[in-house]
Amino acid sequence: MRQTIWLAVGLAVGLAVGALLGGALAPAGKTVTQTATVRETVTQTAVQTAIASALEQALENGTYLHFCVFCGMPINDTRFSALAILRDGHVVRTDDIGCVFRMALLPPEKWPALRVYPAEDVQRLIQVERVFVPDFDTGEYVEAQSAFYVIRQDMKTPMGDCVLAFKDRSEAAKMNATVYTYDQMLQLYREVMEKTGRPMPNWCRGGMGGMGGGGMGS
């Protein structure tokens, strides 16, 4: 990765020197403008290349195994931490099961943790293939789309979603009579985003929206 950055810097220097030499043969009135334009373009290219390399390096060194790939928060409680496998084979994590649904509703270039990188590089590198969520009882990871979910306002999760995942519907029902499938839970997040502009329900704080309170208690 360092080689990529040095290559970009070397290219920038080479093009800048070439611009200066070429400018010596150009009419005096155009030399300064042309040189400044080339220098600015080369500098921007070098910076963008370095940032793109930073995203690749972050994936390779496991940065997003310790910080949520969606929101950037540190992962301190793995009971609620989902795993996402990217198309290139890298594995990243979320700090809250709720971030799984936020990831599904928003394109990667709009994820808060990834806004520091060029959008085209995020689109190229962050392509989610599969997502796994931890079973609340056993910690076993199961496919997010085949898991069952409940909301428990009295059991705070890192991002305030209060969403718990289970491998078996029967086990989920022991935690709350109202059990949701992945698609049903995604729809709840979509409705929250349509009402507030953000897929942040904050159910731990009593933000029940229009969901009704029948099955949301303990």
Residues 6 or more apart in contact with residue 30 via CB below 8 angstroms = 23
What pTM did the predictor assign?
Answer: 0.72
pLDDT tens per residue, range 181-206? 999 999 999 999 999 999 999 898 75
Query: 57-111, pLDDT tens digit by residue?
Result: 999 999 999 999 999 999 999 999 999 999 999 999 999 999 999 999 999 999 9
Domain boundaries, the chain: 2-60, 63-205
87 versus 32: the higher-pLDDT residue is: 87
How does pLDDT run across 111-165, given as a tens digit for each residue? Answer: 999 999 999 999 999 999 999 999 999 999 999 999 999 999 999 999 999 999 9
* Predicted confidence (pLDDT) at residue 34 exceeds the cutoff of 70: no
Nearest to 100 by CA among 27, 188, 194, 195: 188
Helix (H, G, I), strand (E, B) or coil at 131: strand
